[in-house]
Structure 1
Amino acid sequence: MQRRHFLQSTAALGLAAGLPGRALAGRERLRLAMIGTGMRGQVLLKELLRREDVEVAALCDIEPLMLRKALDQCEKAGRPQPRVFGEDADPQAFRRLLALKGLDGVIIATPWEWHAPMAIAAMEAGVPVGCEVVAGISLQDHWDVLDTQLRTRTPYMLLENVCYRRDVMAVLQMVRAGLFGELVHLQGGYQHDLRAVKFNSGDPARPYGGGVEFGAKGWSEARWRTQHAVQRNGELYPSHGIGPCAMYANIHRGNRFTHISSFASKARGLQDYVKRKMKAPADHPSASTRFSLGDVVTTTLACENGETILLQHDTSLPRPYSLGFRVQGTDGLWMDLNRSIHIEGKSPPHQWEDFQAYQDRYDHPLWKKHAAQAEGAGHGGMDFFVVHAFVEALKAQAPMPIDIYDAVAWSAITPLSEQSIAEGFKTLAFPDFTRGLWKSRKPVFAFNDAY
């Protein structure tokens, strides 16, 4: 889509939602800040420090060790030391950072429960937000984030990196070219053994595995993420799976989610890991912890245009990593697990083909242009692209490619799935966060060869 046409069409709809609240026209260098300098934050910081068009102006974290590591990154990159907030362990220190003059944006990479209040505070301060995935915890959080963005007109982008995976973007090109025919069914998920992420020894030198501690005695994600598995039962991490599926199905651009229902299996994997695999003593608190999160949570969404989408959250059992993508239409299907594709009339009858030749042919312009720059970036280059998109959209005063409507709808799958399971696997109506605008928004995601 041509950028000028996109800007004209969104302006005609009154969608200032994607445009910066303060003038950046002609700016070649942005002053960005980061709230949260843990292990995920440091990966994103690496991408910022690689860019000549970004000055890292400020960092905030209440964990001294992680803050020190982030400052070391800046020093090793030969960059000036940024302003620092949070050394006093004040959980509200981020508000002092947001009060700084001249910030062009902030990246939020903190535990999930802080995303909504921090994003709201940033937008209220007129500071554009790039937020790590999970926009909020409760359904009300999502409405609050959305309404703040629409009222303040401060840009907000969900930093969903899987939307920029090379095969995912090639398939987007194939969908747009009509290779699969009319789309009928989509699948994705978060299928990733996180047992050694949810438990560790509490030793900062060993953030993954090596023990059964979590909460106050755990380290890194074990300090906060595991508690969600104790208290909640639902699709806790939907955006990696739903993001690409939503792109393929043109959600919020001529289509929308209409209904959702979720099922959860029994919860056995985490306790088995603690007691049998890690042989925790019977009197250890983790051995008696009861986990609410079903080991496999299956969520189905219905769409206005008739497609169905299936998501699976599977993080508590032994399994190799997979996001389980499947794109199926009237002319064929693609599956990522075995990198296979079948196109009727092109593939041998009733046989899979290897996907590589198709990926090469339909490689997205972004990857063709920036593959060398993305080499060495986190998650196979995806982290370069998601940071690049945020920065370039700010510089161009362009709508965020993954915008506020995408952010809240993808993330709201979590509280809706929790409600569905709690109410006996009930099918629920999916809220229309666009309030009807999905009907007239352009049916193409704003990915182009610039960002």
Structure 2
Amino acid sequence: MKRRDFLISTAAAGVAAATFSPAFAKGRGGDKLRVAMIGTGLRGQSQLGPILSRDDVELVAICDTQQVMLGHALANIDKAGRRKPKVYGGNGDANAWKALLAQKGIDAVFIVTPWEWHAPMAIAAMEAGVAVGCEVVAGITLQDHWDVLRAQQRTGTPYMLLENVCYRRDVMAVLQMVRAGLFGELVHMQAGYQHDLRGVKFNSGNPDEPYGSGVEFGAKGFSEAQWRTQHSIDRNGELYPSHGIGPCAMYANIHRGNRFTHINAFATKARGLHDYILKHPKGGPDHPNAKVQFKLGDVVTTTLRCENGETIILQHDTSLPRPYSLGFRVQGTDGLWMDVNKSIHIEGRSPPHKWEDAQAYYDQYDHPLWRKYADKAAGAGHGGMDWFVVHAFIEAVKASAPMPIDIYDAVAWSAITPLSEQSIAEDYRTLAFPDFTEGKWKSRRPIFALDDRY
């Protein structure tokens, strides 16, 4: 589908994202895209590399509450030979980001902060006419998600969820396979966030030892242990859905001829985090944190039903010992792919009842984006995925084009969290999934990764 035709069709469907026109798109020629970053912690620093590697981008402002994180970011900026940006915060002021958004001449902002700040910061940025690239988790409550959506619709300011797994090389190759009809008609998918985060949720509080160095969290912890662990104490649900649901939603054309219709969730008992505290050399039964009661089930299983008849299972598994895996499974009438064993089976092509190694298929269906940009992405965070998601956001803003992961994707993927919490709290009840597009899913067309610019 040609980009012009896509823009016409989305305009007819009432999509506002393409109406945005940043200053540099108004005839400023070769001027650079001026970006800012709110949150320069470990995740923000991972995003800095791809940003600083671009000649078409100028980082004009950064903000953080902690001087040590600002210091690391400024060192990276200086090492890259880039001009020092204006700096906000560093003194613990949780509202310093507001002054950053009041700065004139910012085209786009990267929001890389604790989850509870994403919705208010994104809304304020959109109100200020600053395009938003938001790290995953669009909001905390279901109302947060409606508020973010309404702000985007009201302002027309672009919003992209920075879900990097959508750009994982094998995930994008499988997208090519799905679109080529290799699996036949899709029937079922599985994915999840299956990642031992015990050493992330607890540490010693030493900035030089952010992972696994102790059993402290909150005010005594550092980095994610300062804020993420509290969610495991207060909440029980699918707390981090987008890594899994993002690719599955792309495979199933969610919001582009399909949508989620129902959701339910189940949670196991909570044992892993408490057990970790007891067994850690710096913990033990007498440590104060051994008395903390954790609400988050060790394994949370969420099921979604789609309008076109597919089901999707997500599993959140972060509190028990296990190797990292997102557990993808894509299954249709002609075969299936699973990422855990990197295997594929295609009826009529694979040996009967046997797996094949998926690598030959990855090579055959390697996405044009990876073929074009693999060298530039080399060395970027998360195996190059961070480069691709930053690239996608920047290119879409520059072109005043629809976001490849847009506002409807963002709020629906992220709203799985409060909906799963509600299902579990209401005796595992199956809930109707909100239609954030309000019917537009019927006429919207796929865009993700169709244009080799992003």
Q: Bin the TM-score by the shorter chain.
A: over 0.9
Specify which of 358, 366, 371 is matched with residue 369 of structure 2: 366
Is residue 7 from structure 1 mapped to residue 10 from structure 2 by the alignment?
Answer: no
Q: Distance in 1 between matches of 2:250 and 2:355?
A: 24
Task: Give the drift of 1:283.
Answer: 3.5
Q: Distance in 2 between matches of 1:447 and 1:160?
A: 17
Please list, as runs of the form range in 1=range in 2, the aligned pairs for 1:2-401 lying within 5 A after superposition. 2-25=2-25, 27-28=29-30, 29-278=32-281, 280-401=283-404
Q: Distance in 2 between matches of 1:329 and 1:282?
A: 49
What stretches of structure 1 of length at least 5 have no aligned partner?
A: none
Task: Give the drift of 1:397.
Answer: 1.1
Task: Determine if contact 2:23/2:107 at 8 Å carries over to the other structure.
Answer: no
Task: Give the drift of 1:11.
Answer: 1.7
Give CA deviations for 1:20-60 in whole Å, capped at 9, x if unaligned: 25344255410000000000000101111111111000000
Q: Distance in 2 between matches of 1:13 and 1:413?
A: 24
Give CA deviations for 1:351-403 in whole Å, capped at 9, x if unaligned: 00000000000000100100000100100000000000001001111100000
Task: Give the drift of 1:65.
Answer: 0.1
Q: Distance in 2 between matches of 1:408 and 1:447?
A: 22
Q: Distance in 2 between matches of 1:56 and 1:361?
A: 38
3-state secondary structure, aligned to 2:321: coil
Give RMSD over aligned pairs: 1.1
Task: Determine if contact 2:214/2:280 at 8 Å carries over to the other structure.
Answer: no
Give CA deviations for 1:280-303 in whole Å, capped at 9, x if unaligned: 243322111010000000000000
Give CA deviations for 1:238-296 in whole Å, capped at 9, x if unaligned: 00000000000000000000000000000000000001244624332211101000000
Task: Determine if contact 1:250/1:445 at 8 Å carries over to the other structure.
Answer: no
Q: Distance in 1 between matches of 2:283 and 2:34?
A: 48
Q: Distance in 2 between matches of 1:148 and 1:44?
A: 25
3-state secondary structure, aligned to 2:264: strand
TM score, norm. by length of structure 1: 0.98
Q: Distance in 1 between matches of 2:130 and 2:147?
A: 17
For 2:402, the aligned partner's letter is P
Q: Distance in 1 between matches of 2:410 and 2:250?
A: 12
What stretches of structure 2 of length at least 5 have no aligned partner?
A: none
**Residues 308 and 322 of structure 1: CA distance in aligned 2, closer, same or farther (over 3 Å):** same
Q: Distance in 2 between matches of 1:207 and 1:88?
A: 20
Specify which of 444, 450, 453 is matched with residue 450 of structure 1: 453
Give CA deviations for 1:120-144 in whole Å, capped at 9, x if unaligned: 0100101000000000000000000
For 2:408, the aligned partner's letter is Y
Task: Give the drift of 1:101.
Answer: 1.1
Q: Distance in 2 between matches of 1:21 and 1:395?
A: 9
Give CA deviations for 1:82-101 in whole Å, capped at 9, x if unaligned: 00001332211111111111
TM score, norm. by length of structure 2: 0.98
What is the percent sequence identity of the aligned residues?
74
Q: Distance in 1 between matches of 2:290 and 2:18?
A: 47
Give CA deviations for 1:107-160 in whole Å, capped at 9, x if unaligned: 000000000000001001010000000000000000000000000000000000
Q: How many residues align?
A: 451
For 1:432, the aligned partner's letter is D
Q: Distance in 2 between matches of 1:240 and 1:133?
A: 8
Match of 2:416 in 1: 413
3-state secondary structure, aligned to 2:58: strand
| Stretch deviating more after TM superposition (154-163 or 93-102) | 93-102
Match of 1:430 in 2: 433
Q: Distance in 1 between matches of 2:281 and 2:304?
A: 37
3-state secondary structure, aligned to 2:103: coil
Q: Distance in 2 between matches of 1:279 and 1:56?
A: 41
For 1:2, the aligned partner's letter is K
Q: Distance in 1 between matches of 2:21 and 2:287?
A: 52
| Stretch deviating more after TM superposition (199-208 or 85-94) | 85-94
For 1:390, the aligned partner's letter is F
3-state secondary structure, aligned to 1:154: coil
Task: Determine if contact 1:21/1:155 at 8 Å carries over to the other structure.
Answer: no
